[in-house]
């Protein structure tokens, strides 16, 4: 893959990583700033529900963050854009849609079919 294309993917991945880290810091600051003493039970339940939702989002983003780091490492290692299962090149359109992917569309489809048949 051309250096210019790889640099573009690296920039996109770094930007997404920085967005996630910034959102995580904001969430932590908001959680620390919120008062723990909410007298009304309905308001307290609402606040707790909101915190739980926010934490679930951050947990999902942490998983994405590790995939971003792995993709950046693949760029550094010269493996970016190669399917880790079959070794074929991953299509550019697939990489543009999901730059953290490590599987070509055929291998990903096969993986999802296998998981579905196993009930995962």
Residue-level pLDDT at 120: 63
Residue-level pLDDT at 31: 77
Q: Tell which residue, 66, 108, 103, has the closest CA to residue 82.
A: 103
Assess contact for 100 and 74: CB atoms under 8 A: no
Judge if pTM exceeds 0.95.
no
Residue-level pLDDT at 22: 94
Over the Cα atoms of the chain, what is R_g? 19
Per-residue pLDDT of the chain (120 residues; tens, 9 = 90+): 899 999 999 999 999 999 999 999 988 888 777 656 777 888 878 888 888 898 899 999 999 999 999 999 999 999 999 999 999 999 999 999 999 999 999 999 999 999 999 876
> With left for phi above 0 and alpha for psi between -120 and 50, is residue 107 left, alpha or beta?
alpha
HEC per residue, 24-83: HHHHHHHHHHCCCCCCCHHHHHHHHHHHHHHHHHHHHHHHHHHHHHHHHHHHHHCCCCEC
For the chain, the first-to-last Cα distance in angstroms comes to: 34
Residue-level pLDDT at 16: 97
CATH topology of domain 1-80: 1.20.120
Residue-level pLDDT at 119: 78
Domain ranges for the chain = 1-80, 81-120
């Amino acid at each position: 893959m051309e250096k210019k294309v790889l640099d573009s993917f690296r920039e996109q991945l770094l930007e997404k990583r920085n967005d996630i880290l910034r959102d995580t810091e904001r969430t932590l600051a908001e959680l620390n700033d919120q008062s723990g003493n909410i007298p009304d039970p309905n308001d307290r339940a609402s606040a707790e529900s909101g915190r739980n939702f926010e934490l679930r989002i951050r947990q999902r983003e942490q998983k994405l963050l590790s995939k971003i780091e792995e993709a950046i490492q693949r760029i550094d290692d010269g493996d970016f854009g190669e399917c880790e299962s079959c070794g074929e090149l991953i299509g550019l359109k697939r990489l543009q849609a999901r730059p953290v992917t490590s599987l070509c569309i055929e291998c990903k489809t096969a993986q999802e079919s296998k998981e579905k048949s196993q009930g995962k």
